[in-house]
Amino acid sequence: MKNLTRLHTGESLDDVTLEPVIRMDLIKYSGASADFNPIHTIDEEAKKAGLPGIIAHGMWTMGNLAKLFTPYYEEGFIEDYQIRFSGMVFLDDVLTLKAEVEEHTDSYLDFRVWTVNQKGKVVIKGKVRFSTYD
């Protein structure tokens, strides 16, 4: 594991590629988050909403992306986490989580964070300010 506070601008955390998205992932997230919008779990409801199939909760993807930082909980914490949802995630999609240092100061590191699917399309993107402990 890298030592986060030693990362320089332009350096990245190790990418994490998730297993292909399955319906059970989204059923579990629906239950855990109490977001039971059926476009995330039921094919007919997704089609009624004009979608080709069920789509992942944006917050599921955002939750996954944050785990790049979890191993560094002794060095600091996520002070700001800003995400724009830019693309839909479908079943069988293979997502890769990414984070790159944009700025490094004495008190925080700013990361550009994003998630791409197997076609290289960005599905969510944003910023993390990781505040470091003294």
Partner 1 sequence: MYRDMIGRKSEKVKNVVERGHVRRFAEAIGDLHPIYVNEQTGENSRFGRNIAPPTFPRVFDYGTVEGLNLPKKGLIHGEQNYHYERPLLVDEEIYCYTEVEDYYEKSGSNGLMGFLVVKRYGEDARGNVVFTEEMITIITEAVRKAMNV
Which residues of the chain form contacts with partner 1 (CB under 8 A)? 18, 25, 28-29, 31-35, 37, 39, 49, 58-60, 62-64, 66-67, 70-71, 73-74, 77-85, 133
Instruction: Name the minimum Å distance from CB 60 to partner 1.
Output: 7
By C-beta, is 8 or 51 nearer to partner 1? 51
CB of 64 to partner 1, least distance (A): 5
At its nearest, how many Å lie between partner 1 and the CB of residue 90?
A: 16
* Cβ 74 to partner 1 shortest distance, Å: 7
Q: Two tokens at 100?
A: 């790159």
In the complex with partner 1, the residue whose CB is nearer, 12 or 85, is 85
